Amino acid sequence: MIRTGLSALLLLGTWAAAGLAPAAAAPSPASEAPASTGLLTAMQKDLGLTESQAQARLAAEKTATAVESKAKRAAGASYGGSWFNPDSGTLTVTVTSAQKADAVRATGATVQLVKHSARQLDAAKERIDALSAPAGVSSWHVDPKANRVVVNVVAAQKSDNDVRDFLDRARQAGPVTVKETAQAPQTFAAGTVGGDPYYTGNVRCSIGFSVHGGFVTAGHCGQAGASVSGWDGSYIGNFQGSSFPDNDYAWVNVGSGWWTAPVVLGWGSVSDQLVRGSNEAPIGASICRSGSTTHWRCGNLLAKNETVNYSQGAVHQMTKTSVCAEGGDSGGSFISGDQAQGVTSGGWGNCSGGGETWYQPINEILGRYGLTLHTA
């Protein structure tokens, strides 16, 4: 019987004895870990790729992730943003200075000249973050392709006076482009139902990633001190830290006979995925999610550092994806290849009709609480 969440694997103390759990275990280089058949199958299903196309894309994304960090250093203050192009398999990096183009190109990136640097756009976004957004404004983020801050507005409320007033003030903060979205975002917590990974009060959410001493998940799933029980109703631990809104992250200590493992569940549709690190994937990369309601789903990484305007308040520094999710998936794992990316926060739509989902980046959570990711 397949258990619905990483908590099922946490019970298997023999995994630690088998060598998956010890912190001292030397992680294998990602380049030596071939993509599992299940991951390739999921990418074929959700992204419309052939097996060879999925393999080629994963290889190109791994290269682009390495190139991106080198290109940022080469561009310096001239850096304007970057994204992965799945059609060409290349990373595009924008710069504001033509003098930096050759140095950036030498890293293996394609180069474009733009007007605004990433620092200028981030500063404009921070000024917009300081504004109070009405419900009709769903989110905003820096778009490196547009070289502007994109503000997403719910189509049915675009003529609302409060929305129009917000947009006027946003345009004063810097270069802004307005786009329409179908629905407002919401978190993906759910009421208690049987057979799912963890509960706090009457809320059911999904485990994100194992850390030494516990696991990380979404902050809206529980407040600090709240008791957490697993899929079988037994006590796991308590929320040791939680932040929502403003952020959407939390961590829970694991004890009482429960174990941690550096694994993301594949739910039987794909092989369980080992977690080997947390290198950040570029915009445009493929990404997959594991959650207790809709299980394993894949899509594309659409935007970074987006502010999401939930009804409970704005949450900052989120990453937007085309992956679908539903109630109960909150807190679950976002992973790119074998690299942890973040925990599911919320979104709009569902896995029948499609939608978008945001996650809180994992490295921010680890840094905030001084946690160490459990890796294989």
Give yes or no: 220 in active site: yes
Nearest to 8 by CA among 252, 223, 210: 210
Give yes or no: 248 in active site: yes
Active-site pick, 117, 206, 210, 220:
220
- Reading phi first (left if > 0) and then psi (alpha if -120 to 50, else beta), residue 328 is in left
Residue carrying structure tokens 């999925």: 54
- Euclidean distance between CA atoms 252 and 324, whole angstroms: 25
Active-site pick, 46, 143, 196, 248:
248
Active-site pick, 330, 333, 336, 345:
330
- Euclidean distance between CA atoms 220 and 189, whole angstroms: 8
CB atoms within 10 A of CB 239: 21
- Euclidean distance between CA atoms 78 and 252, whole angstroms: 40
| Residues with active-site annotation | 220, 248, 330
